[in-house]
Amino acid sequence: MLARWLPAAVNTRPSEWSRAAIGMSMGTLFSVWLCSQVFGIEVAQHLVGPLGASAVLLFAVSSGALAQPWSILGGYLSAGVVSLLVAHVLGRTLGSACLAAGMALILMCWLRCLHPPAGALALLLVLADPATIALDWKALGPVMLSASAMLLSALAYNNLTRIRYPKRPAAPVPVMPSADSQAITAEDLKLALADMEAFFDVTPEDLEQLIHASELHAKRRSIGEVLSSRA
C-alpha cells in the first residue's frame, strides 16, 4: 500500500537536470525582466509563479504535449480571456477565481492547448494586484508578452543545448508483426488511450516508438542469453 506512494525513478541524467535548471532560471529571468520593462515590475512579479511553472515544463520536459508552443500560448490566452471576463461579470472573489480556473481548463481542453500553469494564471488575474487590475483588459499584454518571451527562451536554449524543441512529429516505425501476435500501431494506441478516458502527457506516436524500442532491446537480450548459454 505505501509502496504506491514512492516516486518512480527519473529517467534522466544529472547533467540533464543541470541543463534544465539553468534554462529555467534564465528563461524566467528574461521573461520577468522583459515584462517589467514594458509594464512595470509590480505587474511582472505578479506573473512570476505561472512563469516559473511553465519554465519547468518547457525546459525539463520539453517533449511533453503540455510543453509545446501552442500549449503555452493558447493556454495563457485562454486563461487570460476567461479570468478577465469572470472578473468583470462576477467580481474579484475567491469563488470567482476558482470558477475562472475551471472554465479556463475546459477552454484549454477544447482548444487542445492544456497547460497547467495557465490554471494558476487564471487565479492570479482574478485576484490580481492593484497595478494589474488598473490595466483591465490590457492585462492580456503582459500575459502574452511574458509567455512569448518564455517560449522564445525555450526555443533558443533547448536547441542550442541539443534538445529538439518544439517536438517534431514522430516518424512512422516500420512494423514486422510476428506470427503469433499483431503489431501495435499508433492508431491502436489512440483507441486504447480513448478507452482509458484520462489525460496522459504523451502522444500515441511516442508510445509506439517506445514499444518498438523495448521490443528491440528484448530481442537483443534474448539473443545475448542464447549466445551465453552456448558458450
Residue 4 has pLDDT above 80, yes or no: no
Concatenated DSSP letters of 45-76: HHTHHHHHHHHHHHHHSTTSGGGSHHHHHHHH
pLDDT the model gives residue 28: 97
d(CA 109, CA 204): 17
Summarize the confidence of residues 129-144 as an average pLDDT.
95
Q: What is the pLDDT of residues 67-82, one digit of tens each?
A: 999 999 999 999 999 9
Residue 171 has pLDDT above 60, yes or no: no
Burial state string for 99-136 with b = 16 or more CB within 10 A and e = fewer than 16: bbbebbbebbeeeebbbbbbbbbbbbbbbbeebbeebe
CB 50 within 8 A of CB 118: yes
Of 116, 135, 109, 142, the closest CA to residue 58 belongs to 116
At position 72, the amino acid (one-letter code) is I
Residue 32 has pLDDT above 80, yes or no: yes
Domain boundaries, the chain: 13-160, 186-230
pLDDT the model gives residue 135: 95
Share of the chain above pLDDT 70, in %: 78
